[in-house]
Structure 1
Amino acid sequence: MGGFQTFDSEADPACAAPRLAALRALMAAKGLDAVIVPRADAHQGEYVADCDARLRWLTGFSGSAGFAILTAGQAGVFVDGRYRVQVRAETDPAILTPVNWPETPAADWLRAALPDGGVLGFDPWLHTQDEIAALDKALQGSGIALRAIANPVDAIWTDRPDPPQGAVRVHDSRHAGAGAAERRAMIAADLRAAGHRAAVLTMPDSICWLLNIRGADLPRNPVVQSFAILDDAGGVQLFADPAKFGPEVAAHLGNHVSIQPPGRFAAALAALAGPVRADPASVPVAVTTALAGAGVEVALQDDPVSLPKARKTAAELAGMRAAHRRDAVAVIRALAWIDAQPPGAFTEIDVVRMLEQYRRAAGATDISFDTICGSGPNGAIVHYRVTQATDRTVRAGDLLLLDSGGQYADGTTDITRTVPIGPAPSGARDAYTRVLQGMIALSRLRFPRGVAGRDIDAVARAPLWQAGLDYDHGTGHGVGAALCVHEGPVRIARRSTIPLEPGMILSNEPGYYREGEWGIRIENLIAVEPAPSPDGRDMLGFETLTLVPIDTRLVEPGMLGRAEIAWLDAYHARVLAEIGPLVPADAQGWLAQATAPLGAG
């Protein structure tokens, strides 16, 4: 069983000053006027191993997205709307300046910071082809040049942790719905159809999906940190530490998959015959540079695994439904426990520990991300992670925002509920009802095939927009099947142009946050499915996978329409019917009350 959440404090902001000074000294020695330090690792995943947490080590900022740019006189930490409260809490304002991104592009900041031009150093393993091409274009005419360098943070990080050595395991084809050989053959056929001789894969979840394996290199995400080259005949060169692979996994992979040390990856790239497919949005610049340097033709196209992985098989959908039923029991038990505690008698960490205890009992092997349990003002930090230093007693008048998920052998879950502790604070009932209206509207939506996430994002925001409110995160992200809880390439967000297709699983999570006071978010997972149409149009809709009551104590019933009330009552009736028989006796009364009809006619 995987490790569950710990509550140690993140990097000490006091350490940032000497580390920035050391980095500046190295920059001067290397003739660099600026360096960029991203959150990413060489695999471009959202979560990174401790040895790759360079941004956190350097600045103290622990969010899952962002980057820093350091010059001789300035240091900016670039974050989007999810992290603007968090970055101020975790970094030293005397030496680090939060920068609102993408409102302030990196190129604009650099032009102001280096008006006379200069040299910007970047690690080519930590930036994609698209990133560097866009930055280079935006800096044209500035006199600022980009230089690929060995990572400068690694040079000063003397106690850097070792790379992870998690054991690899076989992912049962009964849960996958297809064997590894079948998947390799399918993607190889796509390569042949496109005229590509091979594809370079650098996203660990793509590799794990392709080979029906899972790993333990990253907390919360059951992936194997690795690179792979898939040829057009279905053969795979897999670059990962061979010590991670036991006899059972080696036998599963068979003769068509060769396991090689990561150090051989560059040489293998140079030996390829093109065209070789590489995704400019995920493959590091170092990879495309190595291919081009060896004279190998590069075809810059999407990762060939990403869309097939997003279209869940019937077995994967069945596994996700089963995982959500077990997970529902755990969350319901936790919510019942919260309501049974007197306000002021428990803390955020108490809630996290209790929920994880119930998830372990339900069969979870890990949580799917560090639980977000924010009470009062902590709930306004969108991706808040409680530590011993920030742990807060949950008091009367608080809202408690609980965003959590579990990893199971057959599925991955992600759910958010907002719970009132005693009387609701001012403004919370109106905002909560609007968030609920947006979530219901998206749940009920029907739309024609070809519609993308950007086309429906506004549906969930409209009730908030009517009141002049909004939230600074996407409405939904893709979710893997017994894989990463945040999975590309589909999203429900303003920038997502990929059409939604049956089998895709996404979150539905509008919210609203009042800084310094409280936060609200309601989240279910939904699966795209065919929807009926009276004139035979090719329509799609959503199946709701999450089966946990939505708290109605914050709802203003008069704000809801008949259809919204009918949806909520039907949802709760379904929860009671499907999950009620699975819930232990001590939570039965709570569940019956929580699923009672709203009562409006």
Structure 2
Amino acid sequence: MFQSFEATSDTSTGPARLAALRAALAAEGLAGFLVPRADAHQGEYVAARDERLQWLTGFTGSAGFCIVLPDLAGVFIDGRYRVQVKGQVDLWHFTPVPWPETKPGDWIRAHLAEGVVGFDPWLHTGDEIAKLETALAGSGVTLRASANMVDRVWPDQPAPPMGRAFVHPEELAGASSHDKRAALAEGLRKAGQRAAVITLPDSLCWLLNIRGADVPRNPVLHGFAVLHDDARVTLFAESAKFDAATRAHLGPHVTLRPPLALVPALHTLTGPVRVDATTAPVALRMELEEAGVVVAAGDDPCRLPKARKTPAEIAATREAHLRDGAAMVEFLCWLDAEAPKGGLTEISVVRALEGFRRATNALHDISFDTICGVGPHGAIMHYRVTEQSNRPVRAGELLLVDSGAQYIDGTTDITRTVAVGDPGDEARACYTRVLQGMVAISRARFPRGVAGCHIDALARYPLWLAGMDFDHGTGHGVGAFLSVHEGPQRLSRVSDVPLDPGMILSNEPGYYREGAFGIRLENLIVVAQAPALPGGDSRDQLCFETLTFVPLDRRLILTDELARGERAWLDAYHAEVLARIGPRVSAPALDWLRAACVPL
């Protein structure tokens, strides 16, 4: 199966590795070093070779960083990982730091009077380093680009990934690579720019209509590209990743060169060259400026076009979600039958779910390791079950299952929280508030120009009324057979990117009570043109189309707490689930589905 259950974190290894790193820093004349969870491509997901943060500290979360000083090592984690980090790092040697509440510059100033803090310029964006330099201005601390000091003390560091690239069909992409390159090149010419450097793996794959296997769970390729203003592309990637068919697909206007040729090639460019300071490693700007090439600030030119899915991509992802919805219904039917018998564990649940997805005969991979948490494990937002942590599925507890699949025609991500026996009225009250938040997002209408930061509060309001909240964004962008977390679109307090038709997002409010239970409900949605309303004015409005069709656990809903419009939406949603998914499932699952979709 795709998912394994061995423990990838060991608190006992951190102290010795930290000591080795500090010795190397002292020999280099450095008082500290920044250790991000990042690679040179600045994607969210990294290969084993780039898991430096995990290797050093034991922390396995998908976001965070460590600042190592002579007498203190701070592990900076956001609200998703406050519980998880405490069980993964040696708390005598590593100190969890709440982030972004605590700014790294302020923390360094508070704990280091003077000295040089090193950083690997290939692992940090220009914006990150600029903000940190500003925060340290006037202190006795300076930053210095250096070799990666973790790599120096990591004796068995894995080799770089060598996954094979493959062609993504144009009929699923909805546009040829030639047409994409031509459109972006025209944008460069209008901006007076001669080229743009592409660093994000999903941008690279989207632009060239290819996919790869360099990062677990996400079908992306590691490489860099220079897009020229005449639509030519120079692709810097290992040639062994490309077979004859993929090379032929790239065509004569895409030149394949080895990764080591990137820096010399940058020095030969004629500017202005666009570099995205928010996503590209600062090393690119440093190399271009050293060569006297004018650097132009600007967004990665692929990000917004990639986020605005084509009609072909939306049609394909609808089909992927129906296929996945049928697998989920088969799974939930099985779970309802087996859980009361006892004997299930978190691992057996994960294995069963992957089996139902494999039975579709269309599964390329799972889109992330399934989060399956029973009882208190559900409160660990990104919990990953291991043989050591595996917990029985017991009556009277909530079971949270957050999972997804990679199909050639789409990427899915769905969370359902279900009752095992009777979890009690308090759990039902919390579930109902989370559900109301999800329904509020699903029903939203909004004018063009509205961003995720404006909508995020809709999902939190029912929880706020009860003095509750959740410490993650309401939704992230999702790719089309690409990364399950895609930018720049988000439903979040910090997202100012306007929502445009075609953008796919998750809708996933939650509530987590440490040591007791966790609740999260998630559908994927796509931004669409809103239909005109009788009596409305001529404002151009958008709405969300729901892509995910899987029942919500009616046993956990306090129906009397729902407003009329909320009940109407849920009944309509369940009717549509039955209509769309019913013809795709087995007879026993259809019987289960009919009962699960009975109107409230």
TM-score by length of 1: 0.98
Alpha-carbon shift at residue 536 of structure 1 (Å):
2.0
Q: d(CA) in 2 for partners of 1:91 and 1:284?
A: 28
Q: In structure 2, what is the equivalent of residue 314 of structure 1?
A: 311
Q: In structure 2, what is the equivalent of residue 338 of structure 1?
A: 335
| 1:136 aligns with one of 125, 129, 133 | 133
Q: d(CA) in 2 for partners of 1:192 and 1:182?
A: 15
Q: In structure 1, what is the equivalent of residue 117 of structure 2?
A: 120
| 1:20 aligns with one of 18, 43, 46 | 18
Aligned-partner SS, 1:498 = coil
Give the AA of the match of 1:432.
Y
Q: d(CA) in 1 for partners of 2:44 and 2:412?
A: 17
Alpha-carbon shift at residue 425 of structure 1 (Å):
3.8
Give the AA of the match of 1:428.
A
Give the AA of the match of 2:237.
A
Q: d(CA) in 1 for partners of 2:268 and 2:373?
A: 51
| 2:541 aligns with one of 519, 539, 542 | 539
| 1:51 aligns with one of 49, 52, 66 | 49
| 1:226 aligns with one of 211, 223, 226 | 223
Q: In structure 2, what is the equivalent of residue 468 of structure 1?
A: 467
After superposition, give the CA deviation of every residue in 1:398-449 in whole Å (9 maximum; x if it has no partner).
1000000000011000000001110114521111101000100110010000
| 2:67 aligns with one of 63, 66, 69 | 69
Give the AA of the match of 2:573.
Y
Q: d(CA) in 2 for partners of 1:239 and 1:532?
A: 45
Q: d(CA) in 2 for partners of 1:220 and 1:594?
A: 31
What's the Cα RMSD here? 0.8
Within the alignment, does 1:587 sit opposite 2:589 as a pair? yes
Alpha-carbon shift at residue 300 of structure 1 (Å):
1.1
Q: In structure 2, what is the equivalent of residue 517 of structure 1?
A: 516
Aligned-partner SS, 2:351 = helix
Q: 2:218 touches 2:483 (CA, 8 Å); kept in 1?
A: yes
Superposed, 1:564-583 pairs within 5 Å as 564-583=566-585
Q: In structure 2, what is the equivalent of residue 494 of structure 1?
A: 493
Gaps in structure 2 of 5+ consecutive residues: none
Give the AA of the match of 1:588.
L
Q: d(CA) in 1 for partners of 2:406 and 2:117?
A: 40
Q: d(CA) in 1 for partners of 2:394 and 2:515?
A: 15
Aligned-partner SS, 2:500 = coil
Within the alignment, does 1:236 sit opposite 2:226 as a pair? no
Q: In structure 2, what is the equivalent of residue 284 of structure 1?
A: 281
Q: In structure 1, what is the equivalent of residue 93 of structure 2?
A: 95
Q: In structure 1, what is the equivalent of residue 290 of structure 2?
A: 293
After superposition, give the CA deviation of every residue in 1:58-88 in whole Å (9 maximum; x if it has no partner).
0100000000011111111000000010000
Q: d(CA) in 1 for partners of 2:447 and 2:215?
A: 38
Aligned-partner SS, 1:566 = helix
Within the alignment, does 1:431 sit opposite 2:430 as a pair? yes
Q: In structure 2, what is the equivalent of residue 396 of structure 1?
A: 395
After superposition, give the CA deviation of every residue in 1:226-266 in whole Å (9 maximum; x if it has no partner).
10000001100111100000000000001101111101111
Q: d(CA) in 1 for partners of 2:424 and 2:243?
A: 55
Q: d(CA) in 2 for partners of 1:392 and 1:565?
A: 35
Q: d(CA) in 2 for partners of 1:143 and 1:497?
A: 35
Q: 2:339 touches 2:393 (CA, 8 Å); kept in 1?
A: no
Aligned-partner SS, 2:579 = helix
Q: In structure 1, what is the equivalent of residue 150 of structure 2?
A: 153
Q: d(CA) in 2 for partners of 1:246 and 1:55?
A: 34
List structure 1 runs of 4+ shifted beyond 6 angstroms. Answer: none
Within the alignment, does 1:376 sit opposite 2:378 as a pair? no
Q: 2:346 touches 2:374 (CA, 8 Å); kept in 1?
A: yes
Q: d(CA) in 2 for partners of 1:259 and 1:591?
A: 51
Q: 2:453 touches 2:492 (CA, 8 Å); kept in 1?
A: yes
Alpha-carbon shift at residue 342 of structure 1 (Å):
3.6
Q: d(CA) in 1 for partners of 2:425 and 2:271?
A: 63
| 1:110 aligns with one of 108, 111, 115 | 108
Give the AA of the match of 1:375.
V
Q: 2:339 touches 2:420 (CA, 8 Å); kept in 1?
A: no
Q: d(CA) in 1 for partners of 2:117 and 2:317?
A: 45
Aligned-partner SS, 1:255 = coil
Q: d(CA) in 2 for partners of 1:377 and 1:45?
A: 31
Aligned-partner SS, 2:59 = coil
Q: In structure 2, what is the equivalent of residue 505 of structure 1?
A: 504
Alpha-carbon shift at residue 314 of structure 1 (Å):
0.3
Superposed, 1:24-43 pairs within 5 Å as 24-43=22-41
Give the AA of the match of 1:90.
Q
Q: In structure 2, what is the equivalent of residue 457 of structure 1?
A: 456
Give the AA of the match of 1:292.
E
Query: How many matched pairs?
Result: 595
Q: d(CA) in 1 for partners of 2:187 and 2:336?
A: 53
Q: In structure 2, what is the equivalent of residue 5 of structure 1?
A: 3
Aligned-partner SS, 1:13 = coil
After superposition, give the CA deviation of every residue in 1:478-510 in whole Å (9 maximum; x if it has no partner).
000010000000100001001001000000000
Aligned-partner SS, 1:82 = helix
Aligned-partner SS, 2:440 = helix
Alpha-carbon shift at residue 338 of structure 1 (Å):
1.0
Aligned-partner SS, 2:460 = helix
Q: In structure 1, what is the equivalent of residue 159 of structure 2?
A: 162
Alpha-carbon shift at residue 333 of structure 1 (Å):
1.0
Q: d(CA) in 2 for partners of 1:206 and 1:469?
A: 37
Gaps in structure 1 of 5+ consecutive residues: none
Alpha-carbon shift at residue 113 of structure 1 (Å):
1.1
Aligned-partner SS, 2:2 = coil
Q: d(CA) in 2 for partners of 1:11 and 1:265?
A: 34
Q: 2:549 touches 2:581 (CA, 8 Å); kept in 1?
A: yes
Q: In structure 2, what is the equivalent of residue 528 of structure 1?
A: 527
Q: In structure 1, what is the equivalent of residue 405 of structure 2?
A: 406
Give the AA of the match of 2:464.
W
Q: d(CA) in 2 for partners of 1:70 and 1:240?
A: 32
TM-score by length of 2: 0.98
After superposition, give the CA deviation of every residue in 1:72-130 in whole Å (9 maximum; x if it has no partner).
1111100000001000011111111111011111111111110x211111000000000
Superposed, 1:440-451 pairs within 5 Å as 440-451=439-450
Give the AA of the match of 1:589.
D
Q: d(CA) in 1 for partners of 2:157 and 2:103?
A: 30
Give the AA of the match of 2:63.
A
Give the AA of the match of 1:586.
P
Give the AA of the match of 2:549.
L
